Amino acid sequence: MTAMLWASTLVATALLSATPENDRADPAADSSQLVAWHQALGSLRPDPSRGATVDGLVLERDAARFHLDRGTVHLLPDLDGRTYGAVFSGEGRFEVAVPDPLEAAHVARAFDVPVDRPVVFRNAVFLFTDLTLSELDPAGGWAPLEPSRDARDEVAEATEYLVDDDGWVDRTVSLPLVNGAPGFFYAHFSENRDRPLMFSVDLLEAEEIGLHQRAGRDKRREVMSRFHRRLDYESGRSLPQEALDIVTITGYDIETEIDDDLDIIGRADATLFRRKRAYDWVPFQLYSGLDVDSVRWSDGSAVPFYRPRERADVWVDLRSMPADTAALTFHYSGEMMDRPENLWVRLWSHTTW
């Protein structure tokens, strides 16, 4: 079976099963790194010890340019020894040269301006694993500088579009940042905070370049446009689907028990082929009402994992994977069905189990 990460994880959601109580792994004991990342991404803030003024700086990302004409930049606090974000306040302009004519026309309508006219912004938050830090690096170095209220407010505002009501970070953003996988760039920018725009370069997407806008009154993102990198249009080809996969599930075997109370106890053995070594923590999915009791390699050794409360995501740490291809056993148990009025059995989820 070959699929993109998301499809692979949906298959993997059916691959989970239970062990005796005394054999359960404690996920929190092995997941402090992942927890720290999600806490940090859910509470972004400028670092007052690392600020600088900027004048005429340009960040070019494929089809887009961010002109930081004048203002201040603050880095976000490091995590795991890495700088992954910054916030700009001042006068800036955004330009995008959409290579696809149909997408360009759509973007022009969404912007309500000609597509070749710059979009002005006052504040911008950047998250990255690419060369952004070196491009922002001031000649005189970073120095203590108190962040403006605009900078603090913009960071808080950008966070609201990345985090759901339960405080869990959108995995399309957290996945590359947690793993430090190269080439990721995300920008949230606005002149008016009621109408922010988002731009991203995500090498795991089939169409790597994304433009997003606010979805109605909700503080969440909706796609305005997606298109390939400029290099793909110039060469006339793009990467095949398999090249975007982090993990491919090449085989699996499932055993499931349903008791008289409709509780589920199951076990699943999945054979994984690891395609991208840059990603250690990989998210799978399982219906949130089912508990992951343990994850183990075929030799019985425990695999660190993290399952946030009331979430479908199950993050698994693949650093101990013995080879590029290895068998992984998931264990799960819990409730995901009932029998209304003692008639038909009703499933609470039709996909993530």
Q: Per residue in 138-174, pLDDT tens?
A: 988 999 999 999 999 999 999 999 987 767 788 899 9
Residue 315: closest CA among 271, 273, 285:
285
* pLDDT level of residue 8 (50, 70, 90 thresholds): very low
Closest CA to 113 of 184, 210, 23, 191: 191
Look at residue 52 in the predicted model and tell me its pLDDT.
97
Rounded distance between C-alpha atoms, residue 199 and residue 123, angstroms: 14
- According to the model, what pLDDT value does residue 274 have? 95
d(CA 38, CA 281): 12
Can you tell me the distance from the alpha carbon of 313 to that of 282, in angstroms, rounded to the nearest whole number? Answer: 10
pLDDT at 215: 86
- 29 or 283, higher pLDDT: 283
Is the model's pLDDT at 27 over the cut of 70?
Answer: no
Residue 242: half-sphere exposure toward Cβ, Cα within 13 Å: 7
Per-residue model confidence as pLDDT tens digits over 191-226: 988 889 999 999 999 899 999 988 888 888 888 888
CA angle (300, 306, 269) in 5-degree steps: 35
Question: What was the pLDDT predicted at 33?
Answer: 82
From residue 215, alpha-carbon distances to 109, 162, 187, 220, 227 in Å are 16, 13, 17, 6, 20
pLDDT of 114 > 70? The answer is: no
**Which pLDDT band, with edges at 50, 70 and 90, does 111 fall under?**
low
% of the chain residues with pLDDT over 90:
52
Q: Give 251-278 pLDDT, tens digit per residue.
A: 988 898 988 888 999 888 999 999 999 9
Quickly state the pLDDT bin for 4 (edges 50, 70, 90).
very low
pLDDT digits (tens, 9 = 90+) for 41-91: 989 999 999 999 999 999 999 989 999 999 999 999 999 899 999 999 999
Q: Distance (Å, rounded) from C-alpha 239 to C-alpha 261?
A: 48
Separation between Cα atoms, residue 196 and residue 157, nearest integer Å: 9
- Could you tell me the pTM of the whole model? 0.86
Of 247, 161, 251, give the one whose Cα is nearest residue 204.
247
